[in-house]
Amino acid sequence: MSARQEKSIFFDAIEIESEADRSHFLRDACGDNPELLASVQALLREHFRSENPVDRPVLVDLENTAEFPGNDSASFVYTPGTTIGVYKLREQIGEGGFGLVFVADQETPFRRRVALKIIKPGMDSPEVIARFEAERQALALMNHANIARVYDAGMTSHGHPYFVMELVRGVQLIAFCDRHKLSTTDRLELFVSICQAVQYAHQKGIIHRDLKPSNVLITLENGKPIPKVIDFGVAKAINQTLTDRTIYTRFASMIGTPAYMSPEQAEMSNLDVDTRSDIYSLGVLLYEMLTGSTPLVQDRVAKVGFDELRRIIREEEPPRPSLRLSTLSNEIVTTVSANRSLEPARLLSTVRGDLDWIVMKALDKDRNRRYATASALADDVTRYLNQEPVDARPPSTMYRFSRFARKHKLAIVTTSIVSLSVLFGLAISIWQARVATIALRKAQISESIANDAKSELEQFTEHLKQANNLLTSGYAHVDARNWAEAHAAFTTATQLQPRYYPVWIGRGSLYAKLGLWDQAAADYQRALELGSPIDRAEFLGVSQLFLYTRNQTAYQSLHAQLSVTSIGDLSSGAIARGLLIDQTVSTSVAQQIADIAELRIAECTATPDDNEPRRRRERSGMPLGARLYIAGWAHYRAGNYDQAVQRLQEANDDRRTWSGHGTAYPLLAMTYFKMGKTDQAKAALEKSRQQLNTWLHDSLDGPDVAIPIPWFDWIEFQIEYERAELRINGKLPPVNLMQAKRTARALSAVE
């Protein structure tokens, strides 16, 4: 015979009013088990006897407490080991405003462990005893899975009322939720069960009036959390006479816990307190389950006086849960979010909206605007969990559609996909005819471009063959001093200039345009050895080329010639850029280059009505963007950082006249770094990386093997980019595989 089976049959039997029907039910339920039948019948006799202590009033005369037995009741202390009736007290597990709670062992008619609540010694005033009597009688009426069940009631030998109830081994609500890091959904499901328990009590005519986390214990049954509402010590009957004796409640005595108390409880007027007071307390519980804090924080409750506390409860509107979360400190909101297994931003977005509306409706100061019942509150929370429109939110077509769409997301997505597919197919059919025509035109244009590129490549290779034929014929190896003899030995068909270094320059230029830097540097070095002057236009970028290929001997030789150039020659782009690439260039020289560059910019940007500047523009082949670039570079070397930033940005933006736009990004990065603007420096450096990859991609993607910008601009960009990476990040950039691939492709095309 199991105690669980015995209890189940007993509780079912007491619901049957007819004694004959009850006897018939017992015979069927107990079957061939006479011991089970006898035990249940004993329980029923005890339950239905007329002198049952649950049905017997505790108070004989509230006005004369001297009639209670035991004159020393006020000084008597209940301790573990004390026997009260058939119950032996064990450890004390709780203490309320006027009651003590013990674990106790029941010895007859069967053994079980229970919770026994007893009036505090010295607290047995008529008012307190009346409330205690209301509690035990209220609990005796209720039989719900989420409400602690009452078993027995009586009076101690010292005149203290007590009742015996189900021992709930559980953890208080908020502590359990945080300890197990329950998600918002799990917390809401627990809250729905609590609402259902309160609704059951309301149907029995009982108002709890002190709902708070410590009065809701959570136990685990088969791994599932089950809430148990306890402590109806301040309950009030609606249509019964359980608490008639509480009408003498002392004025200015609030029943309940302030942080969870409804405005009408704090009013303490003739206004009747009804079930909607518990709705308010449930709203506070939900608020705390969501945010980790009550609307009226405990610190404030402790600091204000009694009258101010009543005013706050009656008049001040609580902040929305999402607003409370947004105002918490980072440390607190991180803890609250972690206890709900969410990121802070995700928790805020979850609470904002429907949950805000539900909580604020339950916490309305006007009880007529709250949920009418605990069941209505539970239903709205359930609607939220089911992604349905909630009653708390003011209805709107858009809102209801959004909730409908969220609930039926799969069906709506499927329908939308089908509809879009039909429309898309129709659009494709109309578009394809147009695309076919455009594709044909593009193919024709691409073929033309490919043919042009092929032709240009053929010209490149043909020129290289001619140069190689000349250079390998033995003619180019003649020393310059024997030029007259060598020249007479060749036919005039070679069309060579009086000096033969142009052949080396020509081939070096071809190699440079293909990006074959080592080959180009070798040819230019040979041209210098044969006496080529450095002020030729073909020498633009040669100094940079020697520096980039680590040809120190040639670089130092060329740079020595550049350094002794007269100031007037600084207007030459080749000389100016050759000097600026050297990190040791003096500030004074850089400033002179900057001044001349600014003068050339002014001439280039003069109005067309000014004939002289126009003629100067016509005489000069240098684009405006290149002038801006040289000016910005010179200002950077001279330490004029603001002017450098302005000119370098203008150079990058000049897409109309300068094909080398974008090469100024590394210089711009280093200028910002010199100015202490690290973020802007890193942004410009990132632009440099992107620009490099774009150029490399373009040179690999098209049919042409030449680099997409003038080769001397490319060389300067590479050098300054490496310097910028080293200065800003402290290391050289990684090897660019795209560049290696592009070089291999160029070599393959030449061979």
Rounded to 10 degrees, the C-alpha dihedral 183/187/189/190 comes to: 140
Residue 560, in any domain of the structure: yes
User: In the predicted model, is pLDDT for residue 683 greater than 90?
Assistant: yes
For 86-95, 355-364, 515-524, which range has the lowest pLDDT when averaged over its residues?
Answer: 515-524
Does 602 or 252 have the greater pLDDT score? 602
For 228-237, 504-513, 540-549, which range has the lowest pLDDT when averaged over its residues?
Answer: 228-237
pLDDT at position 556 is: 79
Catalytic residue among 152, 178, 210, 354: 210
444-493 per-position pLDDT tens digit: 655 554 455 455 445 545 555 555 554 444 333 333 333 334 334 333 33
Confidence of residue 666 (pLDDT cuts 50, 70, 90): very high
Give the pair of three-digit tokens for residue 463: 């020129």
Taking a C-beta distance cutoff of 8 angstroms, is the pair 617, 603 a contact?
Answer: yes
Residue 145, in any domain of the structure: no
Active site residue 210: yes
pLDDT at position 409 is: 63
341-385 per-position pLDDT tens digit: 889 889 998 999 899 999 999 999 888 899 999 999 999 999 999
Count Cβ atoms within 10 A of the Cβ of residue 521 and give its class: 0-12 exposed, 13-18 middle, 19 or more buried: buried
Residue 25, number of CB atoms within 10 A of its CB: 16
Highest mean pLDDT of the ranges 265-274, 507-516, 611-620, 626-635: 626-635
**Residue range 189-209: mean pLDDT, rounded:** 91
- Rounded to two decimals, the pTM is 0.46
pLDDT at position 315 is: 86
Residue 7 — φ and ψ, nearest 5°? -65, -40
Domain range for 566: 533-605+621-749
pLDDT at position 120 is: 72
pLDDT at position 671 is: 93
392-403 per-position pLDDT tens digit: 876 554 555 565
Residue 384 — φ and ψ, nearest 5°? -60, -45
302-353 per-position pLDDT tens digit: 778 788 888 888 888 899 999 999 888 888 999 999 999 889 889 998 999 8
Taking a C-beta distance cutoff of 8 angstroms, is the pair 494, 725 a contact?
Answer: no
User: In the predicted model, is pLDDT for residue 659 greater than 90?
Assistant: no
pLDDT at position 470 is: 46
Residue 565, in any domain of the structure: yes
Percent of the chain with pLDDT over 70: 69
pLDDT at position 252 is: 39
Confidence of residue 107 (pLDDT cuts 50, 70, 90): confident
Residue 539, in any domain of the structure: yes
Edge-to-edge strand list for the sheet holding 112-119: 83-84, 87-95, 99-106, 112-119, 161-166, 150-155
Q: What is the CATH number of the domain that holds 707?
A: 1.25.40
427-448 per-position pLDDT tens digit: 777 777 677 766 666 666 555 5
Taking a C-beta distance cutoff of 8 angstroms, is the pair 222, 88 a contact?
Answer: no
Percent of the chain with pLDDT over 90: 23
User: In the predicted model, is pLDDT for residue 284 greater than 70?
Assistant: yes
pLDDT at position 160 is: 84
Confidence of residue 30 (pLDDT cuts 50, 70, 90): confident
pLDDT at position 106 is: 92
Number of domains in the chain: 2
pLDDT at position 451 is: 54
**Average confidence score pLDDT of the chain:** 76
- Cα–Cα distance, 630 to 651 (Å, whole number): 9
**Residue range 188-208: mean pLDDT, rounded:** 92
Tokens 């980019």, residue? 721
**Residue range 703-707: mean pLDDT, rounded:** 61
User: In the predicted model, is pLDDT for residue 589 greater than 50?
Assistant: yes
pLDDT at position 31 is: 83
Residue 206, in any domain of the structure: no
For 102-106, 128-132, 576-580, 655-659, which range has the lowest pLDDT when averaged over its residues?
Answer: 128-132
pLDDT at position 642 is: 93
Rounded to 10 degrees, the C-alpha dihedral 432/435/440/444 comes to: -160
Residue 439, in any domain of the structure: no
117 is in an annotated binding site: yes
Confidence of residue 63 (pLDDT cuts 50, 70, 90): very low
Residue 551, in any domain of the structure: yes
Confidence of residue 498 (pLDDT cuts 50, 70, 90): very low
pLDDT at position 4 is: 67
Taking a C-beta distance cutoff of 8 angstroms, is the pair 393, 354 a contact?
Answer: yes
Taking a C-beta distance cutoff of 8 angstroms, is the pair 464, 507 a contact?
Answer: yes
Residue 171, in any domain of the structure: no
| Residue in 242, 53, 233, 232 with CA at minimum distance from that of residue 128 | 233
- Cα–Cα distance, 543 to 539 (Å, whole number): 8
